[in-house]
Amino acid sequence: MDNLLKVALAQISPVWLNKNATLQKIEATIKEAAKEKAELVVFGEALLPGYPFWLALTNGAAWNLKINKALHAHYVRNSIQIEDGELDAICKLAKANKLAIYLGMIERAKDRGGHSLYCSLVYIDQNGETKSVHRKLQPTYDERLTWAPGDGNGLQVHPLKQFTVGGLNCWENWMPLPRTALYGQGENLHIAVWPGSEHNTKDITRFIARESRSFVISVSSLMRKEDFPVGTPFLSEILKEAPDVLANGGSCIAGPDGEWLIEPVLHKEGLICYTLDINRVYEERQNFDPVGHYSRPDVTKLIVNRERQSTVEIED
């Protein structure tokens, strides 16, 4: 039935800063979601190959420290270049299982020179095609020490059965204008990805659902001391400062009335599955629609620049 959509929230840990091992874990999770007959699977922010937790543990803002340079270089080597086909195996799994995917990853973008890193949210459709790559508009606080700011190119929505899906990274979900950019394109299933922890997801998930009258899926990763793999540069220094739990999950789903369908799930690794019914969106839009009958575009209107930004424009 096209009005129903089975979703799977992949609350897993990365094999931290190990690109190949994390890709293998993601692929295994997609296969597991396919066995559950999921039609959309969502992974947390920066899962591939992991969130830059070291910045808070190694005096990350200090100038010219070897530990921070070495960890950044390690991060660059383990980031993803989509143009080189590094997501091809995931795309093939999506197509083979008719499964759409939202994946949080660190992108080393060739169209920006290939050396800076972007926190990107990739949407792969059920035909295995990469439809959008949203680079986080504004890295948060210490993230700016390792991630570059993105652009509006990825502020896109996508059809999925009778749903229209869109997504944002972490604190972008607190930004009213990017949210509005997605609402205005017809979004009724909002994907919010996070590095982890219910302090991020427990309030904003329900707020966005109530504001937009949409389903909202928040997906977080897990990160524990044991998830730092042997071979990580300066591992002993990181572990000395790291708490036992750096990200406790908090993945959840709110319905279009802002009430919980699945409350934040903590400290549990694996898939969280639920079936959504688009009719609930139509019911709740009866009394409020932020970009339809309850909007005043003659008074306030948003302009969105979706041009992919690059330093160089080549004319041969």
Exactly one of 45, 86, 143, 172 is catalytic; name it. 45
H or E segment and range at residue 6 = strand 4-11
Q: Is 170 a catalytic residue?
A: yes
Exactly one of 25, 91, 107, 136 is catalytic; name it. 136
Exactly one of 91, 119, 170, 252 is catalytic; name it. 170
List of residues 6+ apart from 299 with CB closer than 8 A? none
260 within 8 A of 206, measured Cβ to Cβ: yes
How many residues are there in the chain? 316
Q: Is 202 a catalytic residue?
A: no
106 within 8 A of 74, measured Cβ to Cβ: no
Distance between CA 199 and CA 232 in Å, rounded? 28
127-142 exposure pattern, b = at least 16 Cβ within 10 A, e = fewer? ebebbbbbbbbbbeee
For 113, the token pair is 């020179």
Give catalytic residues, as residue numbers. 45, 136, 170
